[in-house]
Chain A
Amino acid sequence: MSRTQTARGKAGSVSRALARDRLGVPAVVFFVLAGVAPLTVAAGVIPTAYQTTGLTGIPAAFIVIALILALFAVGYVAMTRHITNSGAFYAFVSRGIGRVIGVAAALVALLSYTFLQVGLYGALGPAAQSEAAAHLGVHAAWWKWALGAWAIVTVLGLLRVDITGRVLGVLLSAEITVIFAEAITGLAHPAGGDLSFATLSPARLTSAGFGTFGVLAVVAVLGFVGFEQAPVLAEEARHARRTIPVATYFALGMIAVVYAGVSWAMAVHNGDGHVVAAAGQQGPGLLFGLGGSGVLDQAAQWLFLTSLFAAALAFHNVVWRYMYALGRESVLPAALGRTGGNNIPKTASLVQSATGLAVIVAYAAGGWAPMTHLFFWLGTTGGFGIMILLALTAIAVITFFARDGRGESAWRRLIAPGLAALLLAGIVVLAATHYDTLLGVAPGDQVGWLLPASYALVAVIGLAWGLILRIWRPRVYAGIGLGAHAVTGQLTPPSERSQP
């Protein structure tokens, strides 16, 4: 074996070549922010949230939620290093708590992201409608524009187009620049001439009773959805221990500053006492009105459209990836885990498109308001589902490290996730019990319990299916949560595995 000896000098060329292909922090941050879509939140979520909830503590909520999510992220990124398929909440739950609950978490996640994706059509339609009416002289119902956007998302989904790289970078930078410009001009022109910091005060979080914190937290978490996607790239990251955590904390901090800043500017510009009424009258115009200059506001309106579209496509891709992973694991029908020509997972992509079409048609036929009833109701319900998953995942991190600490510190494996689990579970309970305030409906209104109950329903189905798999299909059961690696995990019979 003299050849092995003489070749020692070249050692590590494989690792070096692979390292060159890997992603650094900026690439991961851009990937994360693609799903976050800043203008969608700044012009869509925040004004609608002021209007429907009638609460003014939104700026403070963004800061508090960022802190809670940072606490959550400590254990989340630590566990990412020790499991595969770490982009998906149900992978954490399957490995940490158990595979049966993991299946329930998978279905809750699928429903949450579906709500988030489909809800975006409710904002895309009206935004395109008003732009076209104002500038192109084209007058068409919101749902026609929504269907147009849906068709483009469907086609791009089937062509496997991700808006990534340079296009996304340009769009994101433009969005953030516009938001800052709007916020700064808004702050420079406060109502009544006084700069009020009241809406940034934590006291505002419980202004209308303790339960309002739950409501505000769900609205705020909606702005951060997407940050949890960073570990999807864990296997592609340049430095396993550093890239994902740095990108996650950076994205959290950036989102918090942008959203707290712009929602605060809206309250300052319109006056704390009038911002709710102004939001009701102006909708997304609450943001576009801050600048007071034609060019800036026009740019913001066009970017709002591209931002909504990018978010709709990003979540479309998240949903089919979830379905694909579950199809590969045979937890969902295997057809969802098949690809056609050019590695395109046609079935999974089309299923999500079919859902979108059904919802748009239902809203058009029912004559329901797109912005509040589709965008905000389904969007916040998606955010509520993510909140449930965050709480479950925090618990999963604790139980995962309880069996084997794997060299992680007590802060990472117990204290931070423990605090996060308590806070997140508390928020879930508060939000569930004040869901009518969240949606802006009268207490006792049916949707106030129907929407959150949809998660209970899919969770029960998931638990039952998980049990069925455990009893009758042990090979499939063994692969739950492994995603792409289910196929190698299933090589080893379940009896030889040490995990639960």
Chain B
Amino acid sequence: MARLTGTGRLADDLYLIAHHEVSGKPLLQPRAAGLGLAGALLAELLLSGRIQIGPDRVAVADPAPPEDALAGSVLGQMLGEAEPHDAATWLLYLARTAAADVAGRLAQSGYLTRASARRGWRGGRWVPVDAECAFVPVARVKSALDPSRELNVHGAALAGLAAACGLGSRLALYLPPKADRALSEAVRRLDPGLRELIARTQAAVDSALLSHRV
């Protein structure tokens, strides 16, 4: 089988970090994972210049349909709304289906497969095809947080979103002791729109936790 080298899409990488690389077991509460992946889907559109994120609203900057079907469907939903919504609203809305959507996209690219029903009640879960490939995004975060390297926008945004939805403790297992500071430093160097999105994702996850919904 050809080596899988990553889809280069933020939400795909975040999904893989948020699930165990061998068993495919989720490492986050469903709602937190959904919000994190929703943030990553918005970040994909932001990085490809399709949308702009301000404090009060998410605006479509370029309505041309993107290559990726999932990104296209998110953009289509934004175009379909008469009133613009803020990032928090889009996060909540996309969070409802983000995990299933991203898993489907990863499966299509050959990264995930359904666990066989022979495993009993665990059957039907998405499991990584190759555990090593599933672990690559963690390494991507690690190298993005290396202060001696230049800013890697994809890696820094991935690290920021992962920490925002509660994957900080998982990342901490593989990162050097002072990675906390490196992470906030990397996020601070991102564009205002991305920073806003990461902060909104964090706020949405915390808010769900504080209002007993996680």
Which A residues are within 8 Å of any B CB, using their own CB?
A: 1, 3-4, 7-8, 10-15, 17-18, 21, 31, 85, 87, 160, 162, 164, 232-233, 235-236, 317, 321, 324-325, 328, 338-343, 345, 483-485, 487-488, 491
A11 in contact with B83 (CB, 8 Å) = yes
The answer to whether the Cβ of B81 comes within 8 Å of any Cβ in the partner chain is yes
B211 in contact with A236 (CB, 8 Å) = yes
The answer to whether the Cβ of B125 comes within 8 Å of any Cβ in the partner chain is no
**Binary interface profile of B, 162-173, with partner A (CB < 8 Å = 1, else 0)?**
000010111000
Residues of chain A within 8 A of B212, CB atoms compared: 31, 162, 164, 232-233, 317
**Binary interface profile of B, 3-40, with partner A (CB < 8 Å = 1, else 0)?**
00000000000000000000000011100100000000
In the complex, A8→B80 CA distance in Å?
6
A328 in contact with B81 (CB, 8 Å) = no
A87 in contact with B166 (CB, 8 Å) = no
A488 in contact with B81 (CB, 8 Å) = no
A236 in contact with B213 (CB, 8 Å) = yes
A235 in contact with B203 (CB, 8 Å) = no
Task: Determine which residue in B92, B200, B204 has the highest number of CB atoms from chain A within 10 A of its CB, and name it.
Answer: B92
The chain B residue with its CB closest to the CB of A485 is B203
**Chain B nearest CB, measured from A76 CB (Å):** 17
In the complex, A484→B93 CA distance in Å?
19
Given A3-B63, A4-B79, CB of A343 within 8 Å of CB of B209:
yes
Task: Determine which residue in A87, A235, A236, A339 has the highest number of CB atoms from chain B within 10 A of its CB, and name it.
Answer: A339
Given A13-B80, A18-B92, CB of A1 within 8 Å of CB of B210:
no
In the complex, A258→B44 CA distance in Å?
55
Could you give 24 example pairs across A and B, Cβ below 8 Å?
A7-B79, A10-B80, A10-B81, A11-B80, A11-B81, A13-B77, A13-B80, A14-B81, A14-B85, A14-B93, A15-B89, A18-B93, A31-B212, A160-B29, A232-B211, A236-B211, A325-B210, A338-B169, A339-B166, A339-B169, A339-B209, A341-B170, A343-B32, A491-B195
B82 in contact with A484 (CB, 8 Å) = no
**Chain A nearest CB, measured from B198 CB (Å):** 9
In the complex, A485→B211 CA distance in Å?
13
Residues of chain B within 8 A of A31, CB atoms compared: 212
The chain A residue with its CB closest to the CB of B214 is A343
Given A11-B83, A87-B211, A345-B209, CB of A339 within 8 Å of CB of B196:
no
The chain B residue with its CB closest to the CB of A483 is B210
Instruction: Find B211's partner among A3, A7, A21, A233 (CB 8 Å cutoff).
Output: A233
B28 in contact with A343 (CB, 8 Å) = yes
A487 in contact with B203 (CB, 8 Å) = yes
B211 in contact with A342 (CB, 8 Å) = no
Residues of chain A within 8 A of B77, CB atoms compared: 13-14
Residues of chain A within 8 A of B79, CB atoms compared: 3-4, 7
In the complex, A483→B207 CA distance in Å?
8
Residues of chain A within 8 A of B204, CB atoms compared: 484
**Chain B nearest CB, measured from A84 CB (Å):** 8
The chain A residue with its CB closest to the CB of B82 is A11
The answer to whether the Cβ of B146 comes within 8 Å of any Cβ in the partner chain is no
Residues of chain A within 8 A of B85, CB atoms compared: 14
In the complex, A232→B28 CA distance in Å?
22
Residues of chain A within 8 A of B169, CB atoms compared: 338-341
**Chain A nearest CB, measured from B1 CB (Å):** 31
The chain A residue with its CB closest to the CB of B205 is A343
The chain A residue with its CB closest to the CB of B29 is A343
The answer to whether the Cβ of B107 comes within 8 Å of any Cβ in the partner chain is no
A328 in contact with B80 (CB, 8 Å) = no
**Chain A nearest CB, measured from B27 CB (Å):** 6
A85 in contact with B210 (CB, 8 Å) = yes
**Chain B nearest CB, measured from A447 CB (Å):** 34
The answer to whether the Cβ of B96 comes within 8 Å of any Cβ in the partner chain is yes
